[in-house]
Amino acid sequence: MKNFLSAEARGLAPYTPGEQPRDQQYIKLNTNESPFPPSLKVVKALSRAELLKLNLYSDPACTQLNAAIAAHYGLHPANVISGNGSDEILAFAFRAFCGAGQPVAYADVTYSFYQSQAALFGLEAKVIPLREDFTLNVDDYMDFPGAIVIANPNAPTGMAVPRQDIQRLLEANPDRVVIVDEAYVDFGGESCVPMIFRYDNLLVTQTMSKSRQLAGGRVGFALGGEALIEALNRVKYSFNPYNINRLSLIAGTAAMEDDAYFQSCCETVRKNRAWLVEELEGLGFAVLPSSANFVFARCGRLPGGELYRRLKESGILVRWFDRERVRDFVRITVGSMEQIGALVDELARMLEEL
Ligand SMILES: *Cc1c(COP(=O)(O)O)cnc(C)c1O
């Protein structure tokens, strides 16, 4: 076999997405999607008239979408850039702010896509362990001479970092970019968005995949000072100027404008989460304190991998990471009451049979 791979491609560490099975109907609690459909306003906005414009390119500046996002957060459109999911935005940020002599730091237990992107761009990455209890100590990042990325709330733990800690980090070195990945912030974290005008080294990324019912629409965005957003646009226009398709621009704009539906979905997830945590604890699970739309739980009587396999056999998908420090846990998305009710019933049955 010939080897067509470049040296760079050989060094990649591709991300493993959660299973998206097509063969069977599972109760899907493995990739932190919303259990609710998109807003009706989204459905209405995706009209036949808009479909008939698919022969035309989408707006590279994402004018309406960025305006809707800016209005929602009380920012200017120049403080916003949208991407094909926040994963793309993170890639723009890694390319814009990291490189030779500019490393990146992130936690040992966090969103594993950071590692994939660091490898993609050939970056030097410093992995900084969380404390024993999975809390993040910002003091461990204070003298790091490069960009820092922190998922807040973190994945897969669900645990949040206080805004004050991030503020200390931003102040400690104003010449280094701090990227705060707020994919899950709408479920209970303290957002750093209000600090954007105060700190020009703060970049906040968010997504419509988790709290706005648009995982399949692939819409994410970053908020920050104008200079940072300009730097991200430099990368975007070097890579994929029409990065969001016409339909997703429309869907994202409508989703951002339907605040009532957004609030009510988030509230339901928080209520369901409280119920799920109580039930899991009643079954003897140890559950980390979650500010996200998932919980990270350890059974004690069954190893994480075994629990994952047995649930899958029963038609319920959760996420298990075969990685150091977290092997005993499973990550469970907070689904609808019907979904998490079925999960709890199945767990109770399974544990009784042990
Ligand atoms: C889901 C997720 C994202 C990105 O999601 P997109 O669907 O690409 O917007 C980013 N960061 C974390 C921590 C996530 O869990």
Minimum-distance ligand 1 atom for the alpha carbon of 155: 13
Q: What pLDDT, in 10s, does the model give residues 258-283?
A: 999 999 999 999 999 999 999 999 99
Q: How far is the CA of 117 from the centre of ligand 1 (A)?
A: 13
166 lines ligand 1 (CB under 6 A): no
182 lines ligand 1 (CB under 6 A): no
84 lines ligand 1 (CB under 6 A): no
207 lines ligand 1 (CB under 6 A): yes
Q: What pLDDT, in 10s, does the model give residues 333-345?
A: 999 999 999 999 9
Confidence category of residue 23, pLDDT binned at 50, 70, 90: confident
209 lines ligand 1 (CB under 6 A): yes
Work out the angle between the directed axes of helices 337-352 and 259-282 (0-180°, nearest 10): 10
- Out of 90, 106, 113, 213, mutate this one to test ligand 1's pocket (max ligand atoms within 8 Å of CB): namely 113
Q: What pLDDT, in 10s, does the model give residues 26-85?
A: 999 999 999 999 999 999 999 999 999 999 999 999 999 999 999 999 999 999 999 999
What pLDDT shows up at residue 45? 98
What pLDDT shows up at residue 24? 75
350 lines ligand 1 (CB under 6 A): no
pTM of the model: 0.97
Q: How far is the CA of 112 from the centre of ligand 1 (A)?
A: 10
Nearest to 151 by CA among 128, 173, 122: 128
Residue keyed to tokens 């646009």:
233
Confidence category of residue 105, pLDDT binned at 50, 70, 90: very high
Give the neighbor-by-neighbor strand order of the sheet with 178-181: 80-83, 220-224, 202-207, 178-181, 147-151, 104-107, 125-128
Nearest to 353 by CA among 303, 295, 310, 318: 310
Q: What pLDDT, in 10s, does the model give residues 161-176?
A: 999 999 999 999 899 9
CA torsion angle for 212, 68, 78, 51 (degrees, to 10)? 90
In whole angstroms, give the CA distance from residue 165 to residue 301: 36
CA end-to-end span of the chain? 49
Minimum-distance ligand 1 atom for the alpha carbon of 32: 1
Q: How far is the CA of 87 from the centre of ligand 1 (A)?
A: 6
